[in-house]
A and B are shown apart, each in its own frame.
Chain A
């Protein structure tokens, strides 16, 4: 294989893995923003929480990898339900500025809490034994763990899509996104729906946080550090969509990896420029509801 082809394959592989992590973390944000209309700047906090709980379970308690990841998701759900009840509920349909203030406040608090319990440094992450090393496809070696991340992201995407299209819960979410008052008046318990959707989004973020710990290191300021990218995925993908953030995240992941590899002197400049152009041409995102 020629050198440029090798580079292209690597960029594609690492970019897709990165994109999957961005997708897992952001998809919940897209749905909650589309459904409840809350600009939740604190969404990354649930990814951080999931990452910390999972690594703590593995490092300190010797829990195997997969149960630890599930533990992180459960931790995020346990955190998200009371927050939704106590705080987020009062923001639905309310003032945008209150949403910004409250969710930024939550981020500040979470940064301090993470620093208090786990220190200022990034969490060391070791893939489990059965996922370390590499797998060989078509004569090329790929890191096994990132291949697993890609697989997991694709599976979650398929399950979410089918779930949204085929299940009763999915139909209720679609109805509430399209027209909340109408959904309410045909007897859908939207307040309960919001709680469960919020919890589901948080669990997915936690999954992304712990599976992606090798790519986006878990550290106290995680939620703030990567906030712009999460928001880009959501806005370029289109609010309230499952498909949109998936393709937006893949595009962002591959483009970011490519630009940093090919044009390291420009940093993320082109990513922002492309986002700007996309949003100007399609203000509702690539897959947004018209």
Chain B
């Protein structure tokens, strides 16, 4: 029982170490500095930039459930698509005000997450993976067949999005960029708060040892359902951002393999359960994809596939895992 015998100074050091985890580190401001700098450095790539920012939000929402609560899902597209179609349908039927559209889309996606989560979170492991995949596939089929409402395989167009806070969406994507960046920042503040809260710590506990959390009386199912719904609302906001800034919702926004699979890949590339995995993985993947497609428009996914295989072989844990190992090696040699 060394912990109880520890001297006050040692105890204070432990408390300090825990507190330091929550304190904002300088490194955490880097992504925002990069995002602002990118606006001025690459004015011709703002459309791609907005997509990247909105997709980071999608990845961040996945990290909350996958990285922190340990829920391996292939159905995250369902929530993204729910938000995208909600925002799209609102804008196509006369509700063009983007901020309220965004909030409604997030609420609808959160509700879809709450209802579907109440069902899928009763299962575990491979069954959970399959059930999430099947739920997303059902929504995909429904949207595909309800072509009168959703436009089916042709996608939903005819959206009329009004200016956001007086700034209209311009051709260069300047408004879209700041809009996406602001929403991402707000969601990041919320996500960071959740992760470091007692609720967030209990999620990590569930991920690490579910039985023990049951044993100490933690309401495991309800905790999971809560974070699943919150992440669903964020995924929906991400879908709404892409719908509003591009003025189009494709059926592929619900595609369980292409959309859920791709965001899973991007998050793993960056690193899971770090809160910042998406901030590295999403730009990395999207920029690689953009470059490979420019170099070899027909076979670019060969190189993407090769990168994925090489990452698993040489850099498991993604970019953050690699950085961890390098740091450890540097420290050991120092």
Contact = CB atoms under 8 A, between A and B. Distances in A.
Interface of A: 33, 39, 87, 90-91, 95-98, 100-102, 104-113, 115-116, 224, 227-228, 231-232, 235, 239, 265-269, 272-273, 275-276, 279-280, 283-284
Contacts of B131: 276, 279-280
B213 interface: no
Contact of A101 (B72, B123, B301, B312): B312
Given A107-B305, A235-B127, A102 B138 contact: no
B33 interface: no
Contact of A87 (B72, B123, B304, B309): B309
Interface of B: 72, 119, 122-124, 126-127, 129-131, 133-135, 137-138, 141-142, 144-145, 256-257, 261, 264-265, 268-269, 272, 298-302, 304-309, 311-313, 316
B112 to A, nearest CB: 15
Main secondary structure of the interface of A (DSSP, over half): helix
A12 B306 CA distance: 42
A275 B134 contact: yes
Contacts, number: 124
A232 B144 contact: no
A83 B257 CA distance: 23
Contact of B138 (A96, A224, A273): A273
B304 A235 contact: no
A149 B209 CA distance: 48
Contact of A106 (B127, B272, B305): B305
B134 A98 contact: no
Interface pairs A-B: 7 shortest CB-CB: A105-B308, A108-B305, A112-B302, A109-B305, A102-B312, A105-B309, A105-B305
A239 B305 contact: no
B302 A228 contact: no
Contacts of B256: 228
Contact of B311 (A101, A109, A239): A101
A49 B70 CA distance: 35
Given A98-B316, A109-B302, A111-B301, A228 B133 contact: yes
Contact of B130 (A104, A113, A235, A267): A235
B303 to A, nearest CB: 8
B96 to A, nearest CB: 32
B305 A272 contact: no
A97 to B, nearest CB: 5
Contacts of B269: 101
Nearest to B119: A280
Given A97-B268, A267-B144, A113 B133 contact: no
A9 to B, nearest CB: 27
Contacts of B124: 283
B138 A232 contact: no
Nearest to B269: A101
Given A97-B264, A105-B307, 5 more contacts: A98-B312, A104-B308, A108-B301, A109-B301, A279-B127
B127 A115 contact: no
Nearest to A90: B313
Contacts of A280: 119, 122-123, 131
A272 B309 contact: no
A25 to B, nearest CB: 17
B312 A284 contact: no
A115 B305 CA distance: 14
Contact of A269 (B129, B145, B308): B145
Contacts of B257: 224, 227-228
Given A227-B257, A228-B137, A283 B299 contact: no
B201 to A, nearest CB: 22
